[in-house]
Amino acid sequence: MSSEHEWTGVPGAPIRVFLVDDQQMVRAGFRMLVDSQDDMVVVGDAGDGGEALQQLAVTAADVVLMDVRMPRMDGVEATRRLLARPEAPRVIVLTTFDLDEYAFAAIRAGASAFLLKDATPPDLLGAIRAVHRGDAVVAPSTTRRLLDHFAALPEPGSAPTDDRLAALTEREREVLMLVAQGRTNPEIAADLVVAETTVKTHVGRILAKTGSRDRVQLVVLAYETGLVSA
């Protein structure tokens, strides 16, 4: 690794990216793409989930690109174990198949987003930056796939009673419903006729009260609890 990078995780430092995929050529391609960016650096890679957990125990990373279908330990279990650690990195799940059940299982385990492996380089790089910022769902297509997935589930049978929703105010529930519909902060602000900063405050409080890592987790929460139906 080049010694010119100071991988401290402080503002202005490169985004530290760790690659997990059982195909060496795939990892090599991602490495070339990520390392070509001035604001990113690959800090390591692994060929399966178990190896990734071992390396990430001693390697600081901000974002992990995690394949889901791997031998020995798949990306779902690796994501679950990784995100149980303190100060865990954010995880972007990579899958070959649209609407992959593995990908949704990984998101339920705490992954911030998922992308298809044939995503364009700008989409992949944009996802890394967005997830690192803790911003919205990485792309409208991600939300669309989530909604398509939940549309195939049985309709919720009763009003939501999940404890994670109990602390939300009526306005926070309203904002959560709009987030679950894939609305951006500016769109929500326009819908509710409030300032965008007010929406950001509401979203931050919803994340804190529900223990969610990001907006992808909020989408999953809203549908799984029956607050929103597909």
pLDDT tens-place string over residues 179-225: 888 788 888 999 999 999 999 999 999 999 998 877 878 888 887 78
The first and second tokens of residue 112, run together, are: 């911030």
DSSP 167: T
132 or 104: which carries more pLDDT confidence?
A: 132
Burial 2-29 (b: 16+ CB within 10 A, else e): eeeeebeeeeeebbbbbbbbbeeebbee
In angstroms, the CA 129 to CA 41 distance is 12
Confidence of residue 148 (pLDDT cuts 50, 70, 90): low
Pair 149, 104: CB distance under 8 Å: yes
Q: How many residues does the chain have?
A: 230
Pair 81, 50: CB distance under 8 Å: no
- Residue 18 confidence (pLDDT) above 90: yes
pLDDT at 7: 39
Confidence of residue 89 (pLDDT cuts 50, 70, 90): very high
> 66 - beta bridge partners?
20, 93
Question: What is the residue-wise DSSP string for 189-219?
Answer: HHHHTS-HHHHHHHHHHHHHHHT-SSHHHHH
* Separation of CA 96 from chain center: 17
Helix then strand count (H, E) for the chain reads: 11, 5
The first and second tokens of residue 143, run together, are: 């939300």
Lowest-confidence range among 56-60, 135-139, 184-188? 135-139
Average model confidence (pLDDT) across the chain: 82
pLDDT at 145: 65
- Residue 119 confidence (pLDDT) above 60: yes
Residues of the chain above pLDDT 70, percent: 81
pTM: 0.72
Q: Which amino acid type is present at position 202? A: H
> 111 - beta bridge partners?
none
Residue 176's CB: how many other CB atoms inside 10 A? 27
In angstroms, the CA 115 to CA 220 distance is 16
- Residue 171 confidence (pLDDT) above 80: yes
DSSP 89: P
Lowest-confidence range among 10-24, 62-76, 87-101, 156-170? 156-170
Confidence of residue 29 (pLDDT cuts 50, 70, 90): very high
Residue 34's CB: how many other CB atoms inside 10 A? 24
- Residue 2 confidence (pLDDT) above 80: no
Residue 104, SS3?
A: helix
What mean pLDDT is predicted for residues 73-78? 89
